[in-house]
Amino acid sequence: MLGGRYLKIGLILNLCTTLTLGHILNEDFHETLDLRPLPDGRLLSAFSFTTLLKEAIPRDPETLGSEDETQHYTLFPLALGQVLREYAVTELHMSLNAGKWDYDRWGYPEDPGVGTGAELWAYMGDSSAVSVDARWRGLRNALAGLFCASLGSLDDQRTTSPSLTFRPEGSFPQWTSASNHQLRHATLPSENVCTENLTPFLKLLPCKGLSGIASLLNPHRLFDSDWHGLSVHVRYLRDHGVEVRLNFQAVSDPVRYSVHGKRDWSLSSVFDRTIHSSCRVASSSMIRVARPTEKTAVVSPEPPSKSEDYAIFDLSDTATPLDISMQWQDESKFIYPLASSSSPLTPISVQRTLKGSIQSQGRLSVVITNHLPITIQTSYLETMPWLLQFYLHSLRTYHNGISRDDLVSIVSYTPPVPHLRPTLFQAVLTLPPKGTLHLSMDVMKPFLRYTEHPPDAERGWNLPPAVFVPLISNTTSSSKVASELNVADVDFRRLSRRIYTPVLLVDLATPDFSMPYNVIIMSCTLIALIFGSVFNLLTRKFVVVRVNQDSKPATRSPVPELKN
Amino acid sequence: MHLPVSLLSLCFLTLASLSAASQAAQDRATTFFTSNAQHSPSGSGHTNNWAVLVCTSRYWFNYRHMANALGMYRTVKRLGIPDSNIILMLSDDAACNTRNKFPGCVFASAGGKAGKDSSSLDLYGDNIEVDYRGYEVTVENFLRVLTGRVPPSLPRSKRLLTNDRSNIFIYMTGHGGNEFLKFQDDEEISAFDIADAFEQMWQKKRYNEILFMIDTCQANTMYSKFYSPNILATGSSELDEKSYSFENDNDLGIAVIDSFTHYVLQFMENINKTSQ
C-alpha cells in the first residue's frame, strides 16, 4: 500500500518534470566513413558524424534579451549547442584545412569546404535585441575557445557577406513574417591545424573517439597526410530538426608507406588502428569503400553487401576487430598515370597567381579552363583583404589571344577600406566550350603601419582562396558532358559545387624594425654631444691663476688652479 | 594538492644548491612554508591549482622552447591539474610543422620514434588543448590573462579564473636577457611588467601563492623586481650567465630540450600524485 502510494507520487513527479523542464527531444546519430582510392595512388577517407535533433528549431534572435528555454541533449554536443543558442545561429559552417586540394588529380571532395586555413560562415537572423555583428564577434570567439583555433582574429578586416556563392544549405525558420537572415563569412588562410583542434572535435561526438568509426582518427597519421581538414556544419531542416554534421577528410598516400611502392592499403596501414567495437548509440554505422576503375582490386574481408561501385560494411553486423584492406593483386609496383591520359574529374580547372615582385607593381592572373564541350557559366568570388587592392578598370579577359571583355560580367563589387574592410568582388564568367580564359588585373600593395606587421613580417601575408561555382543547369546535352567526364550518369547538382583555388602569398614592404632603437640612440648621442658642447662653450671660461712667488712654496700645489 | 609542495620542495633544493648565500635562502624558504601552514598540514591554505605555461619563441629552430613548455604541460597534467585550469601558450606549431619528421609529435629527448624502445616520450600525444597559439601569444595577452582584464567576448578556456585560494604555477621560456624576455622576436616583456602584474593580482586577490619558474638566458634577473608577497621564484641562470640546451636530435636537426627544464622534468618523473 505504502509502496504503491510512493510509486504514484513518483510517476506524477516524473510527468511534472517532463512538462515543466522544457522539451525532451529525440536524437539520432549516424556515422559513415567513405574510402575512395584516387587515380594517383592516394586514398581519400571522409569521416562524417551526423547528429539530428528532431523537431528542434533554432533560437529566435528576438528572444536574445530574455532567458532561453532549457535544452536537454543526450547525443547532441552540449558545448556546440550552447554556443548556437547563445548567439541564435541558424546555419553554421566552419572548416580547418591544411594542404592544397588538387582538383585535377583528386576530383571533388566529399565536403566542398576545402579552402586552406580556417573558414567560418554563418547565417543569423536579424534582431533588435543584439545586432548580427555583435553576435558574429561572440560566435567567432566562442568557437575559437571551443576548437583551440585563432578564430578570434577573424574580425571586420576579414569579414564579408558573399551571399551569391555561399548559399544556405538548410532552410530558415520563419519566426515572424518579417524575419530576415544575414550571412557573415571570414577566412584565415594562415591557420595551422594540429592535434589541439582534433581533441575538442572528438569530444563533441557521443562516443568520443573511443569506439566506432571515430576510433580510427589517429592524429599521428592524419596530420601526416597530403591534405587533411576537419569541418563542422550546423543547419536547420524544416520538418526534421537541427542537424550537426562533423566531418573529417584526409588524403593519405599508401605508396609512401609501402616498402615495395605498392598502393595496397588497409585501415591499419593508413590509420595505424582498427575498429574494435562499434558505437552503441549510433543508429547506423557504415563504411563504404568505393571500387576503383580497375576491377582487379580485392576488398577483404568480404563485404556483407555490395553494389556495382561500392563495398558496404555495416558495423552493427560485422565482426570486430575490423580491418578493411584493398589489394591490387596483379600489380607489383604502382605506376603513376600520366596527366594527359586521364579524363577530367571536374568541369573546370582554375589557376590563380600573383605576378610582379616589387611593391609598386602587381598583377593578379586567373586562368580558367573549361573541360566540357558546352558553354557554361561560373561565378567567381574574391574576398581579398585590404592589403591587396584591385584596379578594377585594368581587368582584361583573353580567350585564344583575343580580348573578350564580354565574357566577364561583374555582379557586385564592394571596394576595400584600408585598415577596416576587405574587398568583395563577385562576377559571372562565361566559359566557351573547351576554352581557356585568361583574366588579369593590376593590383596595388599598400604600405602597412608599423604596428600592423605580424611578428614574422618577412614571410608575407597569406591571401584567401578565390571560390568558383560552376553554374551548370540541366541542359539537353547531358550525354556530351557525361562522355567527357567519363561517367555513366551526370549529377548536375554534384557538378555545381564550390571550387577553391590555392592561397597566395603576398610580400609587402617591411620597414627596418631596428630603426626606432637606432633613432633613439643616435638622437640621444647627438643631443648629448651638442648640448654638452654648447653648454661648455657658453658657460665655461678658462682663467689663469697667478701663483704668488714670495709665499711658502711647500704648501702650495705646483699645478695652477683652474677656476670655473 | 601535493603538486605545489613537490614543486616547491624542488625549488627549495634548487635554490639551496645554486645560490651562494644558500643558508639565507634556505631560511627564507623555510619561513615561506611555515608562515602559510595555518590551515592544513600540507603547508599551504589553497583549494585549487592553476598553471600558466608560456613559450615565447617562434620558428622551427626554437623547437626546444616548445618542448620545454609541453614537458611542463605533461607533468602538470599528469599530477592532476585539469585542462580547464591550464593556460598553455605556444607561439608556433612544432608538432604539425611541415619540417617535423614525426608529425603530431614533440619529443623532449633525442631518439624520437626511430628508437623503438620508446624511451622518448611524445609530449603532444592525442589529447591536448592549446589556449593561445601563434600570433595570439603577445605581451598584452599574457598580462591580460594574469590580471584578468580581458574583453567580455573572450572564451572561458582562455581566462585565468583564479581566486584568493588558488596556487598558480607560472612557467616562461624563450630568449631573454637582463630583466627582459623576448616575445616572438617582436616585443619584450620586462621584469617590472611582471612584477606589477603580480602586484595587481595580489591586490585583486587572484592568488594564494605563485611559483614562478623561468628558463631563459639571465633568467634570475626576471624575478629580481617582485614586490608582492607569497611568490616563490626560480630561474635557470644568474645575471651574465647563459642557459644552454641539453641535447640535439639528429633526425629532427635541432636541439630538443633545455638543460634546466630537462633536469626539472627528470626530477618530476619520480613524483606522482601521492608523493610528499
Question: Does A73 lie in the same domain as A45?
Answer: yes
Q: Given B46, B65, B175, B262, which residue is catalytic?
A: B175
DSSP state, residue B134:
G
> Which chain B residue lies closest to A153 (C-alpha atoms)?
B136
- The answer to whether residue A204 sits within a structural domain is yes
Opening angle at CA A285, ends A284 and A291, nearest 5: 120
CA distance A216 to chain B (A): 12
Grid cell listed for B212: 614562478
Residues of chain A with pLDDT under 50: 18-23
The chain A residue lying nearest B136, using CA atoms, is A150
Q: Distance between CA atoms of A252 and A256, rounded to whole angstroms?
A: 9
Orientation angle between helical segments B259-269 and B3-18, nearest 10 degrees: 130
Q: Hey, what amino acid is at A269?
A: S
Query: Among the options B11, B55, B105, B217, which is catalytic?
Result: B217
Q: Which residue of B has its CA nearest to A199?
A: B127
Q: Are residues A57 and A132 in the same domain?
A: yes
Q: Residue A196 and residue B135: Cβ atoms within 8 Å? A: no
pTM for the full predicted model:
0.85
With respect to residue A318, please indicate whether it lies within any of the assigned structural domains: yes
CB within 8 Å: B185 and A455: yes
Question: What is the rounded distance in angstroms from the CA atom of residue B52 to the CA atom of residue B115?
Answer: 32
Angle at A277 between CA A272 and CA A279, to 5 degrees: 110
- Contact criterion met (CB < 8 Å) for B96 and A193: yes
Tell me if the bond preceding A304 is cis, omega within 30° of 0. Answer: no
What's the pLDDT score for residue A465? Answer: 95
Rounded to a whole number, what is the distance in Å from the CA of B276 to chain A's nearest CA?
Answer: 32
Q: Cell triple for residue B38? A: 595555518
| Nearest-CA distance A173 → chain B (Å) | 27
Q: Based on the domain organization, do A225 and A313 belong to the same domain?
A: yes
Asked if residue A356 and residue A324 are part of one domain, the reply reads: no
Does one domain contain both A322 and A357?
A: no
Q: Which residue of B has its CA nearest to A83?
A: B155
Range of the domain at A163: 21-328
CB contact under 8 A, B131 and A219: no
Q: What is the pLDDT of residue A22?
A: 45
Contacts of A504 (CB under 8 A, 6+ apart): A352, A353, A354, A462, A463
**Using the beta-carbon criterion (under 8 Å), do A144 and B130 form an inter-chain contact?**
no
Q: Which of A150, A191, A195 lies at the smallest CB-CB distance from B104? A: A195
- CB within 8 Å of B151: residues ≥ 6 apart: none
End-to-end CA distance of chain A: 116
In three-state secondary structure terms, A519 is: helix
**Three state DSSP letters for A305-348:** EECCCEEEEEHHHCCCCECCEEEECCCCCCCCCCHHHCCCCCCE
pLDDT of residue A244: 95
Same domain, A118 and A236: yes
In a domain, A424, yes or no: yes
Measured CA to CA, the distance from residue A96 to residue A116 in angstroms comes to 7
Q: How many domains does chain A have?
A: 2
Q: How far is Cα B22 from Cα B17, in angstroms, rounded to an integer?
A: 7
Of the candidates A30, A97, A35, A95, the one whose C-alpha atom is nearest the C-alpha of residue A270 is A35
In degrees and rounded to multiples of 5, residue A399 shows phi and psi of: -130, 120
How far apart CA B161 and CA B151 sit, in angstroms, is: 14
A194:B95 CB<8 A: yes
Contact: B129, A200; criterion CB under 8 Å: yes
Predicted pLDDT of residue B276: 65
Is A308 in the same domain as A355?
no
Q: Would residue B175 show up in a list of annotated catalytic residues for this protein?
A: yes
Regions of chain B short of the pLDDT cut 50: 1-2, 16-17, 19-20, 115-117
Residue A515's pLDDT is: 87
All three cell numbers of A253:
598516400
Q: How many angstroms away from the CA of B31 is the closest CA of chain A? A: 41
ipTM associated with this complex: 0.84
Yes or no: say if A196 and B133 are a contact pair by the CB < 8 Å rule: yes
Contacts of A513 in chain B (CB under 8 A): 186
A152: in domain:
yes
Domain boundary (A328, A362, A380) is at A328
Chain A, nearest residue to B185 by Cα = A455
Which of B60, B77, B97, B128 would best serve as a mutation to test chain A binding (most A beta carbons within 10 A)?
A: B128
Torsion, CA B60, CA B61, CA B63, CA B65, rounded to 10: -130
- Answer for the pair B106, B67: CB distance below 8 angstroms, yes or no: yes
Same domain assignment for residues A310 and A366: no
Domains and CATH numbers, chain B: 51-270 (3.40.50.1460)
Do A72 and A154 lie in one domain? The reply is yes
Count residue pairs from A and B with Cβ separation < 8 A. Answer: 88
Of the candidates B103, B129, B134, the beta carbon closest to that of A220 is on B103
Does some domain include residue A315? Answer: yes
* Claim to verify: residue A298 and residue A388 sit in the same structural domain: no
Pairwise CA distance, residues A496 & A372, whole Å: 13
CA separation for the pair A162, A427 (Å, rounded):
11
- Chain B residue closest in CA terms to A220: B104
Nearest to B134 among A146, A150, A199 (CB): A150
Give the closest-approach CA distance of B10 to chain A in angstroms.
30
A481 domain-assigned = no
φ/ψ of B13, rounded to 5, equals -65, -45
Partners of A216 on chain B (C-beta within 8 Å) are none
The answer to whether A241 and A53 have CB atoms below 8 angstroms apart is yes
Interface contact B103-A223, CB threshold 8 A: yes
Question: Which chain A residues have a beta carbon less than 8 Å from that of B118?
Answer: none
Contact A194 B96 (CB under 8 A): yes
The CATH number given to whatever domain includes residue A378 is 2.60.40.740
What pLDDT, on a 0 to 100 scale, did the predictor assign at position B116? 43
A40 and A184 share one domain: yes
Asked if residue A225 and residue A115 are part of one domain, the reply reads yes
Nearest CA in chain B to A138: B153
Element (H or E) spanning B190, and its range?
strand B187-190
Cβ contact, residue pair A456, B124, below 8 Å: no
Of A145, A150, A456, which has the smallest distance from its Cβ to B133's Cβ? A150
Contact in structure between B92 and B48 (CB atoms under 8 Å): no
CA B82 to chain centre: 16
**d(C-alpha A224, C-alpha A203), whole Å:** 22
Write down the number of H helices and E strands in chain A. Answer: 11, 27
pLDDT at A62: 87
Write the residue in B95, B155, B183 that is nearest to A142 by C-beta. Answer: B155
B11 classed as catalytic: no
What distance in Å separates the CA atoms of residue B169 and residue B264, rounded to the nearest whole number? 14
Query: Is residue A60 assigned to a domain?
Result: yes
Q: What's the confidence (pLDDT) of residue B126?
A: 87
Amino acid residing at B151: P
- Pairwise CB contact (< 8 Å): A192 & B104: no
How far is residue A66's CA from residue A84's CA, in Å, rounded to a whole number?
A: 16
Contact B59 A456 (CB under 8 A): yes
Do A207 and A248 contact (CB within 8 A), yes or no? Answer: no
For residue B67, the model assigns a pLDDT of: 92
* Assigned domain for A366 exists: yes
pLDDT at B113: 60
Alpha carbons A320 and A332: distance in angstroms, whole number: 30
